[in-house]
């Protein structure tokens, strides 16, 4: 089954670890079944515009996506990140594209209006 993971606001470092572990387990389950995964993060947290804990979750999820894509690209593992405005829902079309477009893997799809003009690493 495909995995759709959504970043939640983190209240402690323990919560950061719990969210990252939960995401890892979800993605691992999906890729071992040959299914894609999409991780939705808050775009402002990717550049440190939230709390320390929220930035740790967002960048940790991004790192998870990159590591899994690097390790599993030759096996066809598909994992992408969709970066949205805080508390916004990602457009359904973007989620569908991130899940179903052949060859689209290891990408960050920015759909956050608040990030227009920002330099994103």
**Beta carbons within 10 angstroms of residue 9's beta carbon:** 15
Neighbours of 77 (CB within 10 A): 22
Q: What is the pTM of this model?
A: 0.91
The pLDDT assigned to 87 comes to 86
Residue pLDDT, tens place only, 9-61: 999 999 999 999 999 999 999 999 999 999 999 999 999 898 999 999 999 99
pLDDT band at 2 (very low <50, low <70, confident <90, very high): confident
- Where in the chain are the domains? 3-114
What is the Cα–Cα distance from 50 to 10, expressed in whole angstroms?
10
Handedness of CA 61, 104, 107, 82 (dihedral sign): negative
Superfamily of domain 3-114, CATH level 4:
NAD(P)-binding Rossmann-like Domain (3.40.50.720)
Computed over every residue of the chain, the mean pLDDT equals: 93
């Amino acid at each position: 089954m495909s995995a759709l993971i959504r970043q939640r606001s983190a209240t402690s470092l323990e919560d950061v670890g719990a969210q990252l572990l939960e995401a890892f387990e979800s993605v691992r389950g999906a890729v071992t079944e040959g299914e894609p995964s999409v991780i939705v993060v808050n775009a402002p947290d990717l550049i440190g515009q939230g709390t320390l804990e929220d930035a740790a979750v967002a960048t940790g999820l991004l790192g998870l996506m990159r590591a899994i894509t690097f390790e599993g690209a030759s096996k066809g593992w598909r994992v992408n990140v969709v970066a949205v405005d805080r508390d916004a829902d990602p457009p359904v079309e973007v989620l569908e594209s991130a899940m179903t477009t052949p060859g689209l893997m290891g990408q960050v799809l920015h759909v956050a209006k608040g990030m227009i003009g920002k330099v994103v690493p």
